[in-house]
Amino acid sequence: MTARKLTCLDCGQVNKVPEARLDAGPKCGTCGARLMPGKAVAIDLATLRKAARHDEVPLVVDFWAPWCGPCKMMAPEFDRAAGQAGTRARLVKLNTQDEAQAAGAYNIRGIPTMIRFHRGREAARQSGMMKSEQILRWIG
């Protein structure tokens, strides 16, 4: 049985989850947090770096800021997409105002910008506001 690595978005522990159990609500072996939360989760730069490097389920990051109008418009769409993505991807949000180093570290030139990471690499990038259906199509 194939296992997938997933970084806990709460404590940062890397967990191995059997692929067949991804949709069964797996929890972190260290802190008990849900590994496939079914909603968009706010993360910090350290968690992003670790998850982007280790995760074997696509990680979709919304780089945003509270002062950004298009970011505010996209937030409910991103949340809706996170609830519908199932086991295809985990959707997370990173506030670039609070995590100023993130913009430079990931070459963010405008927000909102989404980056999809898979198996330690940037797989795709998209800037601009998107509806939930567009986000889900973009995820693949």
Q: Could you list the pLDDT tens digit for every one of the 140 residues in the chain?
A: 699 999 999 999 999 999 999 999 999 999 999 999 999 999 999 999 999 999 999 999 999 999 999 999 999 999 999 999 999 999 999 999 999 999 999 999 999 999 999 988 999 999 999 999 999 999 98
pLDDT of residue 4: 94
What are the backbone dihedrals phi and psi of residue 12, each rounded to the nearest 5 degrees, phi first? 85, 0
pLDDT of residue 34: 96
- Using DSSP bridges, classify how beta strands 90-95 and 121-127 pair: parallel, antiparallel or unpaired: unpaired
CA distance 94 to 130: 17
pLDDT of residue 82: 97
CA distance 70 to 64: 9
**Catalytic residue at 68?**
yes
**Catalytic residue at 71?**
yes
pLDDT of residue 1: 66
User: Where does the chain show beta strands of DSSP type E?
Assistant: 3-7, 14-18, 41-42, 59-64, 90-95, 113-118, 121-127
Side-chain half-sphere exposure of 13, counting CA atoms within 13 A: 13
Catalytic residue among 11, 28, 31, 68: 68
Domains (ranges, CATH) in the chain? 37-139 (3.40.30.10)
The structure's pTM equals 0.94
Catalytic residue among 11, 28, 31, 71: 71
